[in-house]
Amino acid sequence: MRAVCVVGLGLIGGSVLRAAVRSGRPAWGATVSASDASAALAAGYDVSSTVDEAVMRAVDEDALVVLAVPLPAVERALRTVAAVAPSCLLTDVVSVKQPVADLVARVVPTARYAGGHPMAGRSVSGWESGSESLFDGAPWVAVADEETALEAWREAAALALDCGAHVVPTTASEHDAAVARVSHLPHVLAAVLAATGAGGGPLALSLAAGSFTDGTRVAGTPVDSVLAMCEGNRGPLLDAVDDALGRLGAARGALASTGGLAATVRAGHAGRAELLAVRSDEGREEVRIDLTDPEAFDDLRSLGAGGGRVLRFEEDVVVGDLPG
Amino acid sequence: MRAVCVVGLGLIGGSVLRAAVRSGRPAWGATVSASDASAALAAGYDVSSTVDEAVMRAVDEDALVVLAVPLPAVERALRTVAAVAPSCLLTDVVSVKQPVADLVARVVPTARYAGGHPMAGRSVSGWESGSESLFDGAPWVAVADEETALEAWREAAALALDCGAHVVPTTASEHDAAVARVSHLPHVLAAVLAATGAGGGPLALSLAAGSFTDGTRVAGTPVDSVLAMCEGNRGPLLDAVDDALGRLGAARGALASTGGLAATVRAGHAGRAELLAVRSDEGREEVRIDLTDPEAFDDLRSLGAGGGRVLRFEEDVVVGDLPG
């Protein structure tokens, strides 16, 4: 099995290291955080004393290097990779994909890179918050852009599967647009709802229904973590906010003019039904894609665009399914 | 104990009848729904054959009449009350309060009326969905307007306490403004979020995080039930939507200009913290209000405005508490 070198041992990186070891892979990590490093060491994991040393070892063992640092720290980590292992197999687990792809293209263009993003909780941070089962059953995007090397995509996808996730193939820009809508916009709307509710004073809050409790839950996430996530995906989030503003403005107009909210409420009801349909295990259709086929990447992107997922490899064939 | 006559035996009315019986009160009901009537009868409850008959019996037994019909059916029920029991003790459990108060003032001005609103789930309907414990631990607004008769308020509040709820005293218009923010706006924003997410296609939905799942949950509520609730509180909901639109527009502007969402996210985080503080059992301050005091109603409204609640009566004294 391919060895894994994890750079950054916070919630996500620390969980990748644990899950890789669980799968039986040789795996080690490094981090600039002294507390994460000592906690990982104390838990019995193989932790190099510096990031340089960890990446040098990746060259010796032909390991997949996994960048698991926050977006602002990616460039510095890439400079280390460029200096020590410029042609390594490389992936990352950062929550936006186009900005990382741009950095890789600029700093380590010779790396065999495919971006990744496991969709796992982020309201806590640090090694101690991680677990080997964090990714079990979760979607994990493996970026399949025009310029992605097949070999690199395959390594990123195999890691995701070994970590217990299923793989969603898509492009970097489609990933960023999608998560703006379903991961970042929910934080913005939760904040707006919480502030508008609190604007009604203690009386309103004392009468808050389950709808308000649910709708504001993620407003309790630490502020810095929400800002890093949302501001790091500024352009796509702006599009998503504009879409939501348009819909809320239309609801406002309908309520003011005819008093009717049917179009708004029906569209929301249909959207929720589509969410449940995409997630349903019922009637899913098996999809097989032969990676030796020259159109394999187009087929993978179509699979992701249709709400599908990759479940396993059978030699050169990808086996997945689409919602029914 | 005061007898109770419940008009309408759907989710809320049916639960009031059961909870009143549980508390040991003499209680009966009536409904124009043949299916609810036969289900309530089959469950062993005392169901009159017509609403007229039930309300006539309320006169004989000096019962509190509880209107538990949807807003569009309130006027017809009030005409029955006006014809049969024009000076009865009267409350209701309809989810908006000013429109009902206006109808009562017009149709049965001689009734001794105080409006009520138990804050309990509404995503299902009908007798079969109800239960005697539906209101346990829930807030139940008892309207204390300038023109509300003390005697009527006391009866409405006592019923709420006997049903297992705690009582929140406030005015009809403050109630309607508050629930617009914390009960109706959440449905509008959930619909907007669900539709915007679905606008990203199956890919976006397949990547949806817990934030999206939580934020769209109530978009799964039956459309008619959401429309009845939201459209019945049109004016106050319009104010709440305008407030949310302003906040979302400000977030949009900040994201577009500086890229920063700190003000939005911090306000949301503070709002969520206030919600948890209002609900917390820690450090609550006991409040006692003597109903024989001429300023008792002012004190009750202040209690509600501060996020407080009434927990019990000790003869003429109301005992409650305020958040710490």
Asked whether residue A295 is assigned to any structural domain, the reply reads no
Which pLDDT does position B123 carry in this prediction? 67
* Same domain membership, residue A70 and residue A50: yes
Task: Kindly indicate the confidence band of residue A120, based on its pLDDT and cuts at 50, 70 and 90.
Answer: confident
Q: Rounded to 5 degrees, what are φ and ψ at A116?
A: -140, 160
CB contact under 8 A, A186 and B217: no
Do A213 and A83 fall within a single domain? no
- Percent of chain A whose predicted confidence (pLDDT) is above 70: 99
Contact A191 B234 (CB under 8 A): no
Mutate to test the interface with B, among A206, A243, A264, A309 (most CBs of B within 10 A): A206
Query: For residue A143, what are the β-bridge partners?
Result: A170
Strands across the sheet with B317-322, in order? Answer: B116-118, B139-143, B166-170, B309-314, B317-322, B285-290
Rounded to two decimals, the ipTM of the complex is: 0.95
Judge whether A91 and A66 are in contact, CB under 8 Å: yes
Residue-level pLDDT at B125: 81
Residue of B166, B189, B237 to mutate when probing chain A, most A C-beta within 10 A: B189
Is the Cβ of B179 closer than 8 Å to some Cβ of chain A? yes
Instruction: Decide: helix, strand or coil at residue B207.
Output: coil
Counting the structural domains of chain B, the total is 2
Interface check A124 vs B, CB under 8 A: no
- Whole-angstrom Cα distance, residue A193 to residue A180? 18
Residue A149 located in a structural domain: yes
Give me the DSSP letters along B110-140: TSEE--EEE----SS-SGGG--TTTTTT-EE
Segment B98-121, tens digit of pLDDT: 999 999 999 999 999 999 999 986
Q: What span, in angstroms and rounded, lies between the C-alpha atoms of B165 and B154?
A: 14
> By the 8 A CB rule, do A261 and A254 touch?
yes
DSSP string for A182-230: IIIHHHHHHHHHHHHHHTTHHHHHHT--HHHHHHTGGGGS-HHHHHHHH
B256 touches chain A (CB under 8 A): yes
Indicate the range of A111-120, A122-131, A250-259, B301-310 predicted with least confidence. Answer: A122-131
Please state, in angstroms and rounded to a whole number, the distance separating the CA atoms of residues B122 and B230.
12
**Calpha distance B68→A65 (Å, rounded):** 64
Q: Are residues B144 and B98 in the same domain?
A: yes
Residue B124 has pLDDT above 90, yes or no: no
Could you give the angle at the alpha carbon of B291 between the alpha carbons of B287 and B292, nearest 5°? Answer: 130
Same domain, A140 and A226: no
- What's the domain range around A68? 4-170
Residue A123 pLDDT exceeds 90? no
Chain centre to alpha carbon of residue A104: 17
Q: Of the candidates B109, B114, B101, B97, which has an alpha carbon nearest to the alpha carbon of residue B152?
A: B114
Both B36 and B144 in a single domain?
yes
CATH number, residue B229 = 1.10.3660.10
Contact B215, A275 (CB under 8 A): no
pLDDT digits (tens, 9 = 90+) for B216-255: 999 999 899 899 889 999 999 999 999 999 999 999 999 9
> A126: left (phi > 0), else alpha (psi -120 to 50), else beta?
left
Closest A-chain CA to B205: A275
Q: For A176, what's the count of Cα atoms within 13 Å in the CB-facing half-sphere?
A: 22
Residue B58 has pLDDT above 80, yes or no: yes
Strands A285-290 and A317-322, sheet pairing: antiparallel
Neighbouring-strand partners of residue A68: none
Of the given ranges (A37-51, A250-264, B112-126), which has the lowest mean pLDDT?
Answer: B112-126
Across A121-133, average pLDDT: 86
Mean pLDDT, all residues of chain B: 96
Cβ-based burial of B18 (10 A; exposed 0-12, middle 13-18, buried ≥19)? buried
State the pLDDT confidence band at A225, using cuts at 50, 70 and 90.
confident
Q: Does A234 touch chain B (CB under 8 A)?
A: yes
Any domain includes B196: yes
**Distance (Å) from the C-alpha of residue A260 to the closest C-alpha of chain B?**
6
* Cα end-to-end span (Å), chain B: 34
* In a domain? residue A272: no
**Which of helix, strand or coil describes residue A148?**
coil
**Does the residue B323 lie in any domain?**
no
Whether B28 and B95 map to the same domain: the answer is: yes
- The token pair at A94 is 């950062």
> From B232, which residue of chain A is nearest by alpha-carbon distance?
A259
- Judgement on whether residues B16 and B129 belong to the same structural domain of the protein: yes
pLDDT digits (tens, 9 = 90+) for A44-101: 999 999 999 999 999 999 999 999 999 999 999 999 999 999 999 999 999 999 999 9
Domain final position from A170, A187, A208:
A170
B187, pLDDT greater than 90: yes
Same domain, B140 and B161: yes
Q: List the single residue in B191, B203, B276 with the smallest CB-CB distance to A170.
A: B203
Ranges A228-242, B116-130, B267-281: which has the least confidence? B116-130
Contact state of B268 with A306 under an 8 Å Cβ cutoff: no
Asked if residue B156 is part of any domain, the answer here is: yes
Same domain, A162 and A52: yes
Are the C-beta atoms of residues A264 and B241 closer than 8 Å to each other? no
pLDDT of A209 reads 82
One domain for residues B53 and B103: yes
- The answer, yes or no, to whether residue A162 has pLDDT greater than 70, is yes
Looking at the fold, whether B11 and B157 belong to one and the same domain comes out as yes
The mean pLDDT of chain A is 96
Considering the entire predicted model, what is its pTM? 0.93
User: Any idea what the CATH number is for the domain that residue B106 is in?
Assistant: 3.40.50.720
Segment B200-212 shows an average pLDDT of: 95
From A170, A194, A229, the end of a domain falls on: A170
Q: How many CA atoms lie within 13 A of A277 on its CB side?
A: 13
Q: Residue B269 and residue A188: Cβ atoms within 8 Å? A: no
Q: Considering CB atoms only, which of A213, A226, A234 is closest to B259?
A: A234
Q: Which of A196, A255, A271 sits opposite B238 (nearest CB)?
A: A255
* Closest CA–CA distance from residue B286 to any residue of chain A (Å): 16
Query: Does A206 fall in a domain?
Result: yes
Chain A nearest-CA distance from B59, in A, is 33
Rounded Cα–Cα distance for residues B263 and B306 (Å):
25
**Residue B56, pLDDT score:** 97
Nearest to A55 by CA among A74, A22, A75, A82: A82
- Specify if B70 maps to a domain: yes
Structure tokens at A274: 């589509």
> Quick count: other Cβ atoms within 10 Å of Cβ A153?
27
- Indicate the residue among B213, B231, B260 that finishes a domain: B260
Interface of A with B in 281-310 (CB under 8 A): 304-309
Instruction: Identify the bridge partners of residue A27 per DSSP, sorted by sequence position.
Output: A4
Same-domain pairing of A67 and A180: no
